[in-house]
Amino acid sequence: MKKISLLTLCFTSLAATEMISQDIHFTQFNEAPSILNPATAGSASVIRASLIYKDQWRSVTVPYKTFGGSFDMKIKPTNWEKMGDHRTEIYRQAFNRLGAGLSFYNDKAGDGNMGTTQVNLSLSTFVPLGPKSYLSAGFQASVVQHKIDFSKLVFPNQYNGVTYDPGMNSGEDFSKNTFIYPDFAGGLLWSYGYTEKAIGSNEKMKANLGVAMFHIGQPKQKYVVGTSDRLNSKFVIHGDMLYGIKNSNLGIEPSFMVQLQKPSTEIVLGLMVKYYFKEDSKYTGINKQSAFSLGAFYRNKDAVAVRAMVEYQVYAIGVSYDINTSSLTKATAGRGGPEIFLRYSSPKPFLYQNSKAKFK
């Protein structure tokens, strides 16, 4: 019982320390765009909405639960321009120069229900660099709430040498169990891509490379009286690519993310292999793309994750499972935790439109 009590005490203290100093993170990081880079708002589709949920370390203690939802869009996506004075029935889409997004995330950790709730508003602007690439810049303003139930925590001063005694003074001087603060972030995203020249050739490629900075003002953390702790700024570097293998139904999707937030560094990299059951119809819009993807990711010094995703028309569902590889494996037996997301993306505007279609 002594060993179990001490183990619980140490793990709870460690968990509290880690959660104060680090941010929310997901294995399927591209499915939580607003906490990856504010410049992603409106970059992927005319409209994109998603939900994501992560359950972590259930095999060791009270599970860490993280839930989030996001919505982003291009502003005025139906701004179309006629392609020439003598081609009255053919239009091309004008470049969308603005994007916006709204998202929220909630995280609960450990016995003390240490929680983070944040709401983010993102704005982005796009600058064309050529017919196949553009640069976007984004800014994000957030409202963040932290809270904790100190009555459920165990502290070293409450161990009387034999067992845990909740009646003993913890020796800690807490100022409040909840506080709210504003937070700000900014980022840049470079995107490049081209589509197939012939139907079914699968000659297409899309690539994104971005960098972002979060907690620009290093907001104060106010749990303990007399402390001046600040949330360290976080720097994110990320990239992904979709490359279609010519004259096949296959595509490969490598991606990576690096997060630097003192004293922690997180590196995630992996590869998905995509199999297309059906391609988009390039001209009529009758057929909608469907695909299945399978892959694996590695998070440095922490876990290996297997991941699968199904895309059908405008919907997608994906799951991943973390297999713990760190020193915590002795307690987890490798069981890190599952993660699932649901996504809706509006269909991309068809290449050609009839002149009778009404756009504002």
Per residue in 141-170, pLDDT tens?
999 998 887 777 777 777 777 777 777 777
The average confidence (pLDDT) of the chain is: 79
Please, which pLDDT band fits residue 207 given cuts at 50, 70 and 90?
very high
Asked whether residue 198 is domain-assigned, the answer is yes
Residues 159, 163, 164: CA angle, nearest 5 degrees: 50
Helix (H) or strand (E) holding 18: helix 2-21
Of 8-17, 100-109, 334-343, the least confident: 8-17
Spatial separation of the C-alpha atoms in residues 114 and 37, rounded to whole Å: 25
Residue 168's CB: how many other CB atoms inside 10 A?
12
Mean pLDDT of 343-351: 65
Share of the chain above pLDDT 70, in %: 72
Report the greatest alpha carbon distance in the chain: 90
Residue 52 pairs with which residues in a beta bridge?
68, 341
Residue type, 300: N
pLDDT at res. 81: 45
pLDDT at res. 39: 96
Of 13-17, 156-160, 165-169, 216-220, the least confident: 13-17
Spatial separation of the C-alpha atoms in residues 280 and 162, rounded to whole Å: 68
Spatial separation of the C-alpha atoms in residues 121 and 129, rounded to whole Å: 26
Residue type, 2: K
Of 26-35, 95-104, 224-233, 312-321, the least confident: 224-233
* CA 235 to chain CA mean position, Å: 14
Please, which pLDDT band fits residue 101 given cuts at 50, 70 and 90?
very high
Mean pLDDT of 83-93: 47
Spatial separation of the C-alpha atoms in residues 30 and 242, rounded to whole Å: 13
Asked whether residue 60 is domain-assigned, the answer is yes
Please, which pLDDT band fits residue 1 given cuts at 50, 70 and 90?
very low
- For residue 78, the 8-state DSSP code is T
Please, which pLDDT band fits residue 331 given cuts at 50, 70 and 90?
low
Spatial separation of the C-alpha atoms in residues 301 and 65, rounded to whole Å: 21
Residue 16's SS3 state is: helix
Helix (H) or strand (E) holding 330: helix 329-332
Asked whether residue 359 is domain-assigned, the answer is no
pLDDT at res. 338: 92
Spatial separation of the C-alpha atoms in residues 308 and 321, rounded to whole Å: 9
Spatial separation of the C-alpha atoms in residues 25 and 58, rounded to whole Å: 17
pLDDT at res. 339: 95
Asked whether residue 51 is domain-assigned, the answer is yes
Q: Contact, 138 vs 119, CB < 8 A? A: no
Q: Contact, 182 vs 141, CB < 8 A? A: yes
Mean pLDDT of 55-68: 78
Please, which pLDDT band fits residue 90 given cuts at 50, 70 and 90?
very low
pLDDT at res. 78: 53
Q: Which residues contact 327 (CB under 8 A, 6 or more apart)?
A: none
Spatial separation of the C-alpha atoms in residues 190 and 34, rounded to whole Å: 16
Asked whether residue 280 is domain-assigned, the answer is yes
Of 46-55, 75-84, 133-142, 318-327, the least confident: 75-84
Name the domain count of the chain.
1
pLDDT digits (tens, 9 = 90+) for 279-319: 655 544 445 578 999 999 999 988 899 999 999 888 999 99
Whose tokens are 């630097």? That residue is: 260
Spatial separation of the C-alpha atoms in residues 36 and 253, rounded to whole Å: 18
Mean pLDDT of 247-273: 92
Residue 229's SS3 state is: coil
Residue type, 158: Q
Residue-number span of the structural domain to which 148 is assigned: 2-345
Q: Which residues contact 56 (CB under 8 A, 6 or more apart)?
A: 63, 64, 65, 66, 322, 336, 337
The two tokens of residue 125 are 């602007």
pLDDT at res. 319: 97
pLDDT higher than threshold 80 for residue 237:
yes
Asked whether residue 297 is domain-assigned, the answer is yes
Mean pLDDT of 102-114: 84
Asked whether residue 163 is domain-assigned, the answer is yes
pLDDT higher than threshold 60 for residue 42:
yes
By CB atoms closer than 10 A (0-12, 13-18, 19+), residue 298 is: middle
Of 234, 186, 231, 243, which Cα lies nearest the Cα of 210? 186
Mean pLDDT of 230-250: 92
**C-alpha separations of 232 from 142, 160, 334 in Å:** 16, 36, 30
pLDDT at res. 80: 44
pLDDT higher than threshold 60 for residue 333:
yes
pLDDT at res. 256: 97
pLDDT at res. 16: 37
What CATH number has the domain bearing residue 51?
Answer: 2.40.160.40
Of 28-42, 294-308, 344-358, the least confident: 344-358
Asked whether residue 353 is domain-assigned, the answer is no
- Strands 303-312 vs 290-299: parallel, antiparallel or unpaired: antiparallel
